[in-house]
Structure 1
């Protein structure tokens, strides 16, 4: 059984190790990685906004969750809709067969619904990630050109899900 729980500062080394494993995998597959940002990304564990996915005591994924829109990404009308926003979702490639990214997405969809939000939203810079997120039920709603690259913005309507059927539990609520 996998568990989603709020990250703590004590999780920083485990998150860093998991992100480093993902960077290794990305580089082996000819993809850009975040290796130079591992410490900054892992440091988000201490912010109160990161959640970790655990298999027993091993961190196998993480995501940062907020309830406010990035100001450049969504219109004021869209930002006024109650939504959760996922950032910096990273998973351990050794757990790929368990679909940890999908487990995190399903958890967020259920969490949003339990808290009266309408949407779960996320963005990415790679068309391959858009395709992957679409397999999780997200829809591409718009694209924007940024100095960092071409940004794809996606959303999925919040809904209650039986997380237990996916082998997932949550230890706390936002």
Structure 2
């Protein structure tokens, strides 16, 4: 499996990732991602170099997973003091259901933590859907410590915030994302 930066040609597939994930989550009883995410925001993140994709090989057309990684701390979720800490933030981590069982979510989190450490960050941070306790447990099992839950309508339901130290990690992905 290789990881590269997403390209604009990936936009339709990245948008479909959200739709597929929302459908799967709805079957589990969650309303997470039930509101479509504007594709122009995804396109802007792609153009900023913040969206990464996993493919089975360099010549594979379809995507196995995606993660967005940036250094923009949401002021509704993180305090002014926390925003002073050097950190990278995980968003939109999604694995295609066809690739379950390959531990891609964990490997992407490890890749992100490794990348954060290589960029001098102290923390890898994320937010999760406030009512999705299964997802929160998933992150906790991968070393994320719950910081707080923000109950503000402006955060759109994703107010459970957590972090873990940024650290070098073996993730098993062929990292072809240009620094």
Give the TM-score, by structure 2 length: 0.84
Q: How many residues align?
A: 170
Structure (1 or 2) with the greater helix fraction: 1
- The offset of 1:150, in angstroms, is 6.5
- The offset of 1:42, in angstroms, is 5.0
> Does 2:100 correspond to 1:92?
no
Structure (1 or 2) with the greater strand fraction: 1
Structure 2 unmatched ranges of 5 or more: none
Give the TM-score, by structure 1 length: 0.86
Deviation sequence 1:76-133 (CA, Å, 0-9, x none): 2211111001112222122111122112111101001111110000001222211011
Q: 1:149–1:39: structure 2 CA closer, same or farther, 3 Å change rule?
A: closer
Question: Aligned-pair RMSD on alpha carbons?
Answer: 2.0
Select 1:136's aligned residue among 131, 137, 142.
142
- The offset of 1:10, in angstroms, is 0.7
Structure 1 unmatched ranges of 5 or more: none
Q: Distance in 2 between matches of 1:30 and 1:149?
A: 15
Select 2:107's aligned residue among 103, 109, 114.
103
Q: Distance in 2 between matches of 1:159 and 1:33?
A: 29
